[in-house]
Amino acid sequence: MKLLRFGAPGQERPGILDAHGAIRDLSGVVEDIAGEVLSDAGLDRLRGIDPESLPRVDGDPRLGPCVAGVGKFLGIGLNYADHAAETGMDLPEEPIVFAKATSCIVGPNDDVQMPKTSDKLDWEVELGVIIGTRAKNVSEAEALNHVAGYCVVNDVSERAFQAKRSGQWTKGKSHDGFGPIGPWLVTRDEVPDPQNLAMYTEVNGHRYQDGSTKTMHFGVATIVAHLSEFMTLHPGDVIATGTPPGVGMGLNPRVFLKIGDVMELSVAGLGVQRQTVVRSE
């Protein structure tokens, strides 16, 4: 299934794509794409519904973040062998974990705000993992059973904030608009191998990132199990699992985003995002 949320910011309604790619309104069935709906039992109930029996959503509505009620938005750093190579850094012995503020989460096609003092704004296409059931101290063998599904994430990053402003990476990862999620939550049964997904980023039509989850250093199961050792993962938590090479910081010469630039990002089978860079309020 491909689940989504549509409507104005803060007023999104739950939806599902039918076999023809049309949006069907799920608001008469569930309150939102969140909580218990993300469990295996909740998703099985949705599978029992014929999408074409639901009201069709006409027009071209705004798409919101594909999951609501995100309690934790976690990122994994330097998790692609080829990306680590372009940065000149060694691969870590354990996953590098950082947090993105949940206030940065926006829809897949919403504008990305450039902070007023920014001059090193960068893109990162990532495979997003959405937790479906509580996970605490789970094994790698059990880990994927706690995943509701997958989505595209743009881990937008301000590199000067991240590296030069002291403290954790969170400063460079959390400005408003730095977390486009979606367009869809694709349930895990439709992604049999999360370690074999092509992915790309284009800026103004030029392809900078052209990679695959094959080059992940730590796979999805390892990441979920590892995180569950240190914190309990809850339904709706989102994990951005790292990015392949081709980020602006890794190019020679470096390339950073400017006002008016348009990003297009995709992970195979998970849809396409498009964002325009705008000046922050």
- From first to last of the 281 residues of the chain, give the pLDDT tens digit: 999 999 999 999 999 999 999 999 999 999 999 999 999 999 999 999 999 999 999 999 999 999 999 999 999 998 988 777 777 777 889 999 999 999 999 999 999 999 999 999 999 999 999 999 999 999 999 999 999 999 999 999 999 888 777 777 889 899 999 999 999 999 999 999 999 999 999 999 999 999 999 999 999 999 999 999 999 999 999 999 999 999 999 899 999 999 999 999 999 999 999 999 999 98
Domain shared by 41 and 109, yes or no: no
Domain shared by 208 and 113, yes or no: yes
Domain shared by 49 and 82, yes or no: no
What range does the domain containing 241 cover?
73-279
Residues 6+ apart with CB under 8 A from 85: 245
Residues 6+ apart with CB under 8 A from 1: 16, 17, 43, 46, 47, 186, 187, 190
Domain shared by 13 and 87, yes or no: no
Question: What's the total number of domains in the chain?
Answer: 2
DSSP reduced 3-state for 234 = coil
Tell me the backbone φ, ψ of residue 209, rounded to 5 degrees: -110, 135
Which CATH number is 111's domain given? 3.90.850.10
Give a three-class secondary structure readout of 182-202.
CCCEEEHHHCCCCCCCEEEEE
23 part of a folded domain: yes
82 part of a folded domain: yes
Domain shared by 101 and 17, yes or no: no
Residues 6+ apart with CB under 8 A from 69: 32, 34, 35, 235, 236
Domain shared by 79 and 112, yes or no: yes
Domain shared by 94 and 163, yes or no: yes
65 part of a folded domain: no
157 vs 182: CA distance, rounded Å = 18
236 vs 39: CA distance, rounded Å = 10
62 part of a folded domain: no
Distances (CA, A) of 82 to 87, 182, 221, 222, 242: 9, 25, 20, 19, 11
67 part of a folded domain: no
| Letter string b/e over residues 196-222, b meaning 16 or more CB atoms within 10 A of that residue's CB | ebebbbbbeeeebbebbbebbbbbbbb
**Rg of the chain (C-alpha set):** 18
Domain shared by 106 and 25, yes or no: no
The pLDDT of residue 206: 98
pTM of the model: 0.96
Distances (CA, A) of 217 to 128, 132, 148, 162, 168: 16, 24, 22, 22, 22
63 part of a folded domain: no
61 part of a folded domain: no
152 part of a folded domain: yes
The pLDDT of residue 166: 77
Count how many Cα atoms sit within 13 Å of the Cα of residue 139 in the half-sphere of its side chain.
Answer: 2
Nearest to 101 by CA among 153, 161, 179: 179
Residues 6+ apart with CB under 8 A from 61: 6, 7, 23
Q: Enumerate the β-bridge partners of residue 274.
A: 264
